[in-house]
């Protein structure tokens, strides 16, 4: 794939398409996700944002250091989630966050499939060294998914966040180094099986 830094990004998987958010054309589904307490339970974003608030929030994503990718399901041709990537180019690292807003896609390996595609792009095309994620300790599906994808638990921040129920929650820090990812994904000749360059 050929992609120019700072331009909208599109990443494809077998079952999903990830496309940069257009702040001037926010999918209507996003407003519903950000108003659903069950969807937003472990997210840090404010709830009940109207279209103007969503436009303002997502207009800062520049496809340089800040990426917001809407996840479209191929089978229904509708948006079902959102992936955000915050790049620190000076340190060759990024932090990721994912929200699956359509509950029909919970428990269907959606997170694993789309995050694997994001890892491949940021490790091969952008040559990042490390990708991280932070998970509230009560978010058991997210803890499982990070571990399943080879992320290592790097620490626990005790009572780091207040949940929407007012209770303090621990946050688990995960990290994945490019060298660890490459060991799992490189073919015998030393080339990536699916290089994005």
Query: How much is the pLDDT for 34?
Result: 94
Query: How much is the pLDDT for 140?
Result: 95
**What are the residue boundaries of the structural domains of the chain, listed by start?**
10-185
Query: How much is the pLDDT for 48?
Result: 87
Query: How much is the pLDDT for 156?
Result: 98
Specify the pairing of strand 152-162 against strand 10-12. unpaired
Query: How much is the pLDDT for 187?
Result: 55
Query: How much is the pLDDT for 193?
Result: 47
The class of domain 10-185 in CATH terms is alpha beta
Distance of CA 32 to the CA centre of its chain: 19
- Cα–Cα distance measured from residue 80 to residue 72, given in angstroms and rounded to the nearest whole number: 6
Question: What kind and span of H or E run contains 36?
Answer: none
Which residue ranges of the chain lie beneath pLDDT 50? 188-195, 197
């Amino acid at each position: 794939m050929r992609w120019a830094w700072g331009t909208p990004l599109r990443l494809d998987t077998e079952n999903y398409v990830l496309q940069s958010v257009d702040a001037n054309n926010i999918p209507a589904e996003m407003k519903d996700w950000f108003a659903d307490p069950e969807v937003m339970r472990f997210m840090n974003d404010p709830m009940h944002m109207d279209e103007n608030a969503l436009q303002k929030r997502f207009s800062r994503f520049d496809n340089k250091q800040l990426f917001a990718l809407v996840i479209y399901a191929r089978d229904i041709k509708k948006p079902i989630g959102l992936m955000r990537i915050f790049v620190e180019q000076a340190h060759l690292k990024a932090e990721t966050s994912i929200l699956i807003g359509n509950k029909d896609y919970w428990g269907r390996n959606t997170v694993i499939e789309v995050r694997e595609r994001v890892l491949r792009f940021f490790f091969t095309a952008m040559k990042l060294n490390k990708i991280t994620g932070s998970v509230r300790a009560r978010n058991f599906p997210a803890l499982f998914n990070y571990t399943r994808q080879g992320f290592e638990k790097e620490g626990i921040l005790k009572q780091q966040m207040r949940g929407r129920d007012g209770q303090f929650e621990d946050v688990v820090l995960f990290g994945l180094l490019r060298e660890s990812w490459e060991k799992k994904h490189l073919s015998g000749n030393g080339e990536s099986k699916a290089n994005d360059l």
